[in-house]
């Protein structure tokens, strides 16, 4: 299959999942408002943004630990590391670039379940969850962009160079794809970008 056809197929696959996630996020925000006796737009926005930030931390932690795990762990760790190793071996192939809905949705569901267990607040689950979805969609788009499309803006060029340093220079550093903030916080900033 040609690279252009593969890129188009991966973009279509992501687009279908993105449409489902966008509908889910909007439904969650709508449900949160309808369940509240006195909905607060500012609190909803704050929780939504907190969900985006939560996703950025999840992105970092998932990328650093299960995806770069040694292959001597559990079957799940082995599977995740194997799939991610394929991505590192073939970073320019769209087929190993986009996370499938079958993987991303269970992670999202577990995240919402954990928020529920901690908070017992359905509005917090719905609003943070919608932000997590938004953060995840931005992640997938940025990841696709950094691998397969030419960077034009300063930010795009930086993110591409930053992520490619993880692939081609030192895969034990630079785990943030959409933001390098957590690499700075956890001291995994690449020595050379």
pLDDT single digits (tens) 89-134? 888 887 777 787 888 999 999 999 999 999 999 999 999 999 999 9
pLDDT of 12 reads: 67
Cα distances from 182 to residues 54, 139, 160, 170, 189, in angstroms, run: 11, 14, 17, 17, 8
Residue 34 CA to residue 88 CA, distance in Å, equals 45
In a domain, 104, yes or no: yes
pLDDT of 94 reads: 74
pLDDT at 83 over 90: no
Q: Which two tokens stand for residue 71?
A: 């292959």
Q: Which two tokens stand for residue 30?
A: 């709508």
When the pLDDT of each residue in the chain is averaged and rounded to a whole number, the result is 88
pLDDT at 1 over 60: no
Task: Name the domain count of the chain.
Answer: 1
Indicate whether this model's pTM tops 0.85. Answer: yes
Average pLDDT (7-26) is 77
> 75: pLDDT confidence band, cut at 50, 70 and 90?
confident
In a domain, 158, yes or no: no
In a domain, 101, yes or no: yes
pLDDT of 180 reads: 94
User: Which domain covers residue 28, as residue numbers?
Assistant: 3-150
Residue 88 CA to residue 29 CA, distance in Å, equals 36
In a domain, 175, yes or no: no
In a domain, 10, yes or no: yes
Residue 187's nearest CA partner among 177, 68, 159, 176 is 176
Q: Which residue has the higher pLDDT, 95 or 136?
A: 136
pLDDT at 26 over 70: yes
């Amino acid at each position: 299959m040609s690279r252009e056809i593969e890129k188009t197929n991966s973009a279509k696959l992501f687009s279908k999942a993105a449409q489902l996630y966008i509908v889910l996020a909007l439904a969650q925000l709508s449900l949160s408002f309808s369940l509240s006796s006195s909905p607060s737009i500012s609190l909803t926005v704050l929780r939504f943004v907190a969900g985006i930030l939560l996703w950025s931390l999840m992105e970092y932690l998932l990328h650093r630990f299960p995806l770069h795990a040694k292959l001597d762990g559990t079957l799940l760790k082995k599977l995740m590391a194997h799939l991610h190793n394929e991505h590192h071996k073939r970073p320019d192939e769209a087929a190993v670039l986009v996370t499938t809905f079958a993987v991303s949705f269970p992670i999202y569901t577990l995240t919402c379940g954990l928020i529920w267990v901690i908070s017992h607040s359905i509005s917090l689950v719905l609003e943070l969850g919608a932000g997590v979805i938004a953060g995840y969609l931005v992640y997938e788009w940025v990841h696709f962009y950094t691998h397969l499309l030419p960077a034009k803006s300063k930010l795009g060029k930086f993110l591409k160079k930053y992520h490619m340093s993880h692939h081609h220079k030192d895969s034990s550093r630079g785990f943030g794809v959409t933001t390098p903030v957590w690499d700075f916080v956890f001291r995994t900033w690449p020595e050379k970008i």
